[in-house]
Structure 1
């Protein structure tokens, strides 16, 4: 969903945030970090952005009074997007805001990084992005170096592992009126101290646009076919693959989704349709995410889901059959002599 291979890091500010509940203080830097070392910039890009390649959910800013400008983080990042010369001052305001909500006694002190990126890709489009990251976990590293006729060893304490980002968010400069597109990471264990990052500092809600709607209904249907159908019906794996292929065909060919039309054209069975609607309802209740009965289909979401829709029939360790089209051209049977299942495949030409 998020790619950074063409991204660049333009500005970086670092501040230290203590725990307000423990009477710890904060330290704000006056100037941004000088970024002249190319290797350091690459390492920082890896540290900040690599964890987002597998983040599936996209959020947006909100405020309880329906006025986005009252959301502090939205307000300060908007000021930076509007005028990058205000970057340092607004990074300081973001740090102060984080300190004010760090009221749980178990929240760890740490460095706060505010970064400005160019050319970060989300959902197939490149945008400028502002990153807000906090490092809380420190580690000790051994360093081995040549010495005389052999090697020496030393260590460095309170160092940061660039493969372990504790907390972060990426705010993309798009969909401003809806609260931007925001991706979040929070590796904190324990819900009480973790909630402050997403709910109190950032104030986020799951986005509910056509990308999210398309991805949700495709994901729910895939899980329904692969995990739920066996509880209700006797179906071969070839039949399941056919149902997935038919749904993919629907989403690729249609401009909009209609639940009734989808049930009739893809599932094609009244009992199956009813079972799917109940499964969808259970999903909505469990995750508190409504899936509307109709919406415009988002092509980027379809392409993403296509990567996890499987059309491969795996037979023991000997054969893989890829089913892309007409399921009627493959038949399953049982050979009494060999006491084994078999598939019969019909075709006109071989390539």
Structure 2
């Protein structure tokens, strides 16, 4: 357990003659019963709106842990702050930024305030500090929008004491997760290119530590394999137009005919750089190479040529995060919101390959 969590005011510790033994807290009961600490509080105070089966689980957990609530702890956890903590990691890329904006709108509609902690890095120390900052504000839950896999790994080692909702697409167990289906979105992108007749489809992937980029690579690869098409290892960019330009330059600089007819770019910004580089080397899109992106940023319709892409429903994602969060806070049996699949938006950057 991290030092920041040990210092939380609701953690009670007593010292025996042999060693330190931690007295069970309301958060321990909540974890054992699989409910929120607010639900444990409702059971302790004999309040309504608790399902009989849930009440029974909480009572069993209380007995198993020999939990004895302190008056101070009980008073603290029964307060409702109507504030949600939001942690974001990584830079201001379009996808995470859109998720943040739309979640804030959904929270405001539900009459909740959002307290944000943003960080470029996702190391355990930074994440612990962010969690501690939000817990001091008595947030009722925490939402994590993580650009990097490291943030998900780090948060697993933190004892939060409040519900956690992760916005991530890998589907790892142990979390309440909400996501857009990056895997099937990538498969749909490749299926579009293959449906036009392309058999040599390259991929420009996002950063290796990005969960979304990893899922898109997996979808690209699986769709090619399912169709019996060759898989050439993807090149890796950093979501920027500059990395797309570099990728396009490397592919086109050999001076001979291209050994591919289509490229699936991991996001629209990299697709923009890629199209520019191909044009600089005398290759036309889509006459020589078809290009499809991902995200449908507002500028995509105004690229030259307008970009075919996969549109993510960030408005729906914000609502899904809030619906899941409210269900968890109400301690309802919420199986989870199915991830939405991005929508194919066909524009002028893709076409059948020339004979």
Structure 1 and Structure 2 fold alike (TM over 0.5): no
Larger gyration radius, structure 1 or structure 2: 1
- The TM-score with structure 1 as length reference comes to 0.26
TM-score by length of structure 2 reads: 0.25
Structure richer in strand, relative to its length:
1
